[in-house]
Amino acid sequence: MELTAADKIMEKGREEGREEGRREAQREILLRHLNSRFGPLPEKTTARVQGLESLDELNAYLDHVLVANSREEMALGD
């Protein structure tokens, strides 16, 4: 059965919502890891993380936080 135009629009909206949910979850995880590893974060760092839109970039930061020796090494705008 072929999707109607309305169904296609609704499906696109759902996918965009799921994608935003994944980005938001990754941001929250990254902030938790940064805070856990390096202590309270400056507002500038938190704002920078909240502004990240690319899942690839968020995942790269999540990988890097596991091996970084300092918050400055993360290059998040401190």
The pLDDT value recorded for residue 58 is: 96
Q: In terms of Cα–Cα distance, which of 40, 37, 39, 34 is closest to 76? A: 34
Q: What is the mean pLDDT of residues 2-15?
A: 90
Is residue 78 within 8 A of residue 44, CB to CB? The reply is yes
The pLDDT value recorded for residue 78 is: 62
Residue-wise pLDDT tens digits, 11-70: 999 999 999 999 999 999 999 999 999 999 999 999 999 999 999 999 999 999 999 999
Residue ranges of domains in the chain: 47-78
Q: In terms of Cα–Cα distance, which of 21, 55, 44, 25 is closest to 74? A: 44
Place of tokens 């805070």: 35
Which residue would you say has higher pLDDT here, 70 or 3? 70
